[in-house]
Structure 1
Amino acid sequence: MKPKIFIDGEHGTTGLQIRTRLAGRTDLEILSIPEEERRNKDLRAELLRAADIAILCLPDDASREAAALLEGHKTRIIDTSTAHRTHADWVYGFAELEPMQAQRIREARLVANPGCYPTGAISLIRPLRDAGLLNSDYPVTVNAVSGYTGGGKQMIARMEDATHPEHMAENHFLYGLSLKHKHLPEMKLYGRLDHAPIFAPSVGRFPQGMIVQVPLYLGLLNGKPTLHEVHQALAAHYSGQKIVRVVPLEESAALPLIDAELLAGTDGMNLCVFGSEESGQVNLVAVLDNLGKGASGAAVQNMNLMLGLS
């Protein structure tokens, strides 16, 4: 019997992307709800409970409600919202976080899909923490730019429709100016940091893609490592897996620029180490698709792990 998958919120940006990824799959049975019935709580509950895996593509409160509807039921859950990312009962769905994380996801009933910005930030910070190069009290900063699809249907409409009453004409804008952001708790927890990073997110006038930067002083890291040693810590951390690529130092050094849309339409992530031994500075850079490894692609990866599929 094929596993039954229900995407609760399939008509939103992340849900639509997941449906697209699953459209050609013959090894799954996709349960679906008509868009006009998406607020029918009884029908939603019926489909949630009939599924082997429910993928929640909902606002935080609605995700909590859906999870409550499944208490005492066998349905396994992947939640793409921020509602459960730091909850002790939920497994964090970043399979490359550490050696046993993929196995934890395979065995879990409750999986919290990471945010797009935290995926890039944690992918750079965690290897240095685990290697002992970065102290937990280091004052980390994270700078990032994302495609506008990360803001969901409302932002997509505002960016693309010039007749929209709240049309946004800006080509690139910074937000989260109060330095309060819903992604900070997971960056702190899974980055193994004592303090939340100073996080400066921004949005560019392109649909999909993302750059996340973590600049550091080599002299303030433990052992005052070289660029090569920082790169080696990343390479060792991600050795043996296929999703995260640590770009060779020589290849990174030859790059004239980094395009935020480099991996748009893909589910992988590239990590680069830039910097200068003379200045004693290093800039760690993650490039990904905000809807790929940053959202829908990661959800499908986690679903496959939970089902024991490739």
Structure 2
Amino acid sequence: MDQVKHNYVQVDGLKLHVAEIGSESAPVVLFFHGFPEISYTWRHQMIAVANAGYRAIAPDYRGYGLSDIPAEPEKTSFADLVADTATILDSLAIPKVFVIAKDFGGMVGYIFSLFFPEKLAGIITLGIPYMPPEALQQLQTLPEGFYMRRWREPGRAEADFGRFDAKTVVRNIYILFSGSEVPIASENQEIMDLVEPLAPLPSWFTEEDLETYAASYAKSGFQTAVQVPYRSLLEIVQPPNHGPNDPIVVAPALFITGDKDFFYNFPGMKDYLKSGIEKYVPNLEIIYLLEGSHFIHEQFPDKVNQLLLNFLNRNKY
């Protein structure tokens, strides 16, 4: 990662961190991270796409990573993250991008594509596909101890996380989200209690990786991270001139998931991917990786990098 440059772009009174590598004249690949990730999560992919002749750009969202924390984190929205992205691209004079997004970053990517279709060359999401509002609403029907429902409650995640240092919180989430079971706590448990204190890190996630994340969250805290995505999850972001039956994106699209990803094992998800998603994303290809977890790009970087490059090269602008 020594080759990666670290720049800052002034957006809405905040300094937003942007990691970047590759020639300024090359086609641009814009990376959106999820939670508990930061731009560092794309360390394997940024190098690979830059070596293949692309310019890789990975911002930290406001309140995440090395970016400034907004004055009122509890008011941060998906619309803010999309507006921040547009400002970053304008400041760097970038007219068009491929989007590669992980976890809730896919929601940021698809909302971005709705507002700025002319800027999108293609979109790849990992872990979470496009989810229409009605599908997101269905998540609320899962048990009360479901992690998303718990963390939507004001103060619940803060109290849960606040019992530990940032390193332990990130460690626990990586262990928990690497499993195939949907994280659901019992009535007398919090989400952090689902992880045994002596449980090992996934083999592909090093102590050095953990230290990088820990240092980031020790600085930023988790206030913005629990607001977006969890408390903003049902936010309606409606672009102009887009009808309710119009496709979300007509550009080339790819969804990559592991068969051991807990999100893939959500009730109804397999059926949705087989016969529901095409009306929203008609030009979508879906690829399943055996034994892949929710962090598939970190778990199997070489396999994922090849899939990404195949898509980018097929649709190069």
TM-score of the two chains, using structure 1 as the length reference: 0.32
TM-score of the two chains, using structure 2 as the length reference: 0.31
Bigger helix fraction: 2
* Structure ID, larger Rg: 1
Bigger strand fraction: 1
